[in-house]
Amino acid sequence: MIETFQRSLPNGTTLSCRAAGKPGRPLMVFLHGFPEAAFIWDELLEYFSDPAHGGYRCVAPNLRGFEKSSSPTDVAAYKPHLLIQDVQQLAATESADGTMAALVAHDWGGAFGWGYANAFPQQVGRLVIINSPHPGTFTRELRNSPAQQQASAYMNFLARPDAEALLAADDFKRMWPFFLLMKAGPDGHGWLTEEVKQQYREVWSAGLTGACNLYRVTPMKPPLPGQTIDGIPVLPRERLMVEVPTFVFWALDDAALLPGLLEGLDEYVPKLEIRKVPNATHWIVHEQPQLVAREIEGFLQRNQ
C-alpha cells in the first residue's frame, strides 16, 4: 500500500513523498532522475516493505523541482549539496538516528547518491546506483571520450533558457522520445502504458523548470561548439571516494550513459559490486522492476 505525504524540512524545502512500510523499521530511500518522479519506485517500495523481503520503511521523495515538491526558480538552488541536504533532512524525519539502511538511486538521483555517500558515509549503510555515472569517471569520459560527449549532448539542450517551454509544447511532444528513442528492452516499450503516460503528464504539468535547472547548474556537460573541456571540473580525490558497500546496476543499452563509465570505478569505490544487464536500457526500473528488486535484495543480503 503506497502512502503519499508532504514533508516540510528545516531548510524550508517541502518534499512530496511516496512511502510504504512501517515507520521505525530500517529505512530505505529511493531517489529518481529526469524526466521521472517518485512514482517510478512504487513496485520496489511495496517489495521491500514486505516482511518477506526485509520489511523496510521505504520512502521515495520527489526531488526539489519535481512534481509537488518545492520548485525554486533560482538555478543556484539546485546545487548538489542542497539536494543532498534535502535527503539528509528527510531521512532524519524517518529514522531515529538519521541513518539509512540503504540508499537506492537512478540517473540524477544517483548523482546525489554518490555525493551523499561521499560526504556522509556513516549515514548510508549500503548504496545502490542504477545507471548513474560516478563523478570521477563521468568527468574523465566527458573530457576524453568523443562518444560520451556525443551521448551527453542532450544535456546542453536541456540547459537552454527556453528548454521547459519547448519540452511542454504539444502534449510534451519532445519528452516522449527520451523513452521511445532508446532501444527497447525485452518487452519493447510496453511499460509505457496510457496509465503511465498520464502519470508523467501530471508530473510534467506541475512544471519543468526545476528539472531543467539541474542541467543548467551543473558544469559537467559536454563542451559546446567553440568551448574547450577546461570548463569541466576535475574534483579532488577526497570528493570522489565512496567507502560504503556499493552495488552498481548497469543496463548496457543505455544510449546516454555508455559502459565506459564503469571503467576504473573501483579506484573510487573499493567495496564495489557491478551487475551489467544486457538487453536493458536507461529505463530499466520501468522495464524490469522485479529483476531490479531481486538484485538489490541479493546485494543487501550479501552485505548484512
Q: What is the CATH number of domain 3-302?
A: 3.40.50.1820
Q: Which residue has the cell 551487475?
A: 275
pLDDT(72) > 70? yes
Q: Is the pLDDT of residue 285 over 90?
A: yes
The whole-number pLDDT of residue 186 equals 64
- Please provide the DSSP assignment of the chain as one string: --EEEEEE-TTS-EEEEEEES-TTSPEEEEE--TT--GGGGHHHHHHHHSGGGT--EEEEEPPTTSTTS---S-GGGG-HHHHHHHHHHHHHHHSTTS-BSEEEEETHHHHHHHHHHHH-GGGBS-EEEES---HHHHHHHHHH-HHHHHHTTHHHHHTSTTHHHHHHHHHHTTTHHHHHTSPPBTTBTTT--HHHHHHHHHHHHT-SHHHHHHHHH-S-SPPPTT--GGGS----GGGT---S-EEEEEETT-SSS-GGGGTTGGGT-SSEEEEEETT--TTHHHH-HHHHHHHHHHHHHHT-
pLDDT above 90 for 189? no
Residue 185 has pLDDT above 70, yes or no: no
- Alpha-carbon span 222 to 143, nearest angstrom: 8
Ranges of each domain in the chain:
3-302
Predicted TM-score of the model (pTM): 0.97
Give the residue with greater pLDDT, 80 vs 186. Answer: 80
The pLDDT value recorded for residue 196 is 97
Give the integer Cα–Cα distance in Å for 281 and 283: 5
295 forms bridges with which residues in the sheet? none
For residue 39, give the C-alpha cell: 512514482
Give me the torsion for CA of 206, 211, 213, 215, rounded to 10°.
-160
Q: Which residue has the higher pLDDT, 106 or 188?
A: 106
Mean pLDDT of the chain: 95
The mean pLDDT of 253-257, rounded to a whole number, is: 95
160-186: average pLDDT = 90
